Amino acid sequence: MTNRRRVLQIGAAAAGAVASGLLTGGQADAHPGGGGGARGQTLVIGHRGASGYRPEHTLASYELAARIGADYIEPDLVSTKDRVLVARHENEIGGTTDVARHPEFAGRRTTKVVDGVSITGWFTEDFTLAELRTLRAVERLPVVRQENTLYDGLFEVPTLHEVLDLRAQLSRELHREIGVYPETKHPTYFRSIGLPLEDGLVSVLRRHGLDTAQAPVFVQSFEFGNLRLLRHQLRVRLPLVFLTAPAGGPFGDPRPYADYLTPAGLAELSDVVDGIGPDRNQVIPRRPDGTLGTPSSLVTDAHRAGLTVHPYTFRAENQFLPAELRMGTDPTGYGKALDEQITFLGTGIDGLFTDQADIGVLARTLSARQISRQDL
């Protein structure tokens, strides 16, 4: 494996500078939402926390992300049987918890159709919060991130309320505002089974005083209808972000993502949302050989429509990197992740989702230095 330890040491040093205010300065007036990042800087968003270093969507993962420099932490939200929002990547939890080792829940294993896809496993909507509390998180990608399996069985499934309490605690301790970037997972599906996500999400955010235009919050969704409901029916004031993919479209929506990302589509989106979260390949497509191609016009077009751009997801392992930035033959080894992120920062993006927030912080610092030298 490439020298991961050295990368982390450099990133930790950069994160320490963030905490002391040497790199970030004041809060981010340039962004909707009042979370971290200095004026004009891109935001580093801890994707599922620090999922490159801890099992994803655990309080330990979120805490580590903040401590190594993330401006925002990102919980994906699903519902329990008793209508409590909890943080899991999917409502199927066979791959992210130890539920399969619990014989008392063997009968809960079932097959469901979620957003048109048949899935077999255990689902959060079939468990009360008290029952979920008996489970423990495990690493979702044990082959890629074997080190993270060290923490299997240690951490509970957190609620949104607990994530927001942690956000407030870390903001006080680190002397900088830590933002939260929740995603509603499968909102149409949950609405169809009588467990709508929107009301519960808004209720918890308002209980924590986070439904304002300057709150350190972005709410994201792959379903535009979900965001429209939040804005127009529930009248949220906080920033909203529409997630997109290179193919297909929102579930149940005949309109493809590509149509939403035309100049006319972006102008329409701007009446409801504050930003877009595209797949990073929609910002810089890859060539047939897997190398980075020429940047698209998406960032420029979105900015013209008044939208911020936060692409996903940047990861350090070779198997996730463009072909020319891989190092060695180990797909789980680290490649030139800094080079990739610096290249994307050069397109003018306003933030990025990353599994390794310390690398994102360091890439942001190095990119800013390059820009400063060019301005001399």
**Per-residue pLDDT tens over the stretch 143-158:** 999 999 999 999 999 9
Which residues are registered as beta bridge partners of 334?
Answer: 317
The pLDDT of 6-20, averaged and rounded, is: 45
The dihedral over CA atoms of 208, 210, 211, 212, expressed in degrees to the nearest 10, equals 140
CA-to-CA separations, 193 to 105, 176, 182, 305, 347, in angstroms, rounded: 21, 40, 21, 36, 42
Query: What single-letter amino acid sits at 121?
Result: G
Q: How far apart are CA 328 and CA 316, in angstroms?
A: 13
Q: Give the pLDDT band (50/70/90) at residue 14.
A: very low
Q: Which amino acid is at 115?
A: D
pLDDT score of 46: 98
| CATH for the stretch 4-375 | 3.20.20.190
* Tens digit of each residue's pLDDT (9 = 90 or more) over 190-215: 999 999 999 999 999 999 999 999 99
The domain segmentation of the chain, as residue ranges, is: 4-375
Residue 19 has pLDDT above 70, yes or no: no
Q: Does residue 373 have a pLDDT over 80?
A: no
Over the stretch 51-84, which tens digit does the pLDDT of each residue have?
Answer: 999 999 999 999 999 999 999 999 999 999 999 9
Q: What is the pLDDT of residue 167?
A: 98
Q: pLDDT band at 3, cuts 50/70/90?
A: very low
Residue 55: phi and psi, rounded to 5, are -55, 135
Above 50 in pLDDT, residue 89?
yes
pLDDT-derived band at 370, boundaries 50, 70, 90: confident
Q: What confidence score (pLDDT) does residue 36 get?
A: 53
* Position 276 pLDDT exceeds 70: yes
Predicted confidence (pLDDT) per residue in 215-260, tens digit: 999 999 999 999 999 999 999 999 999 999 999 999 999 999 999 9
pLDDT at 247: 97
The reported pLDDT for the residue numbered 10 is 44
> What are the phi and psi torsion angles at 85 (to 5°)?
-80, 125
Helix, strand and coil percent figures for the chain, each rounded to 5: 40, 15, 45
How much of the chain exceeds pLDDT 90, in percent?
A: 87
d(C-alpha 327, C-alpha 40), whole Å: 32
- For the chain, helix (H) and strand (E) counts, in that order, are 12, 13
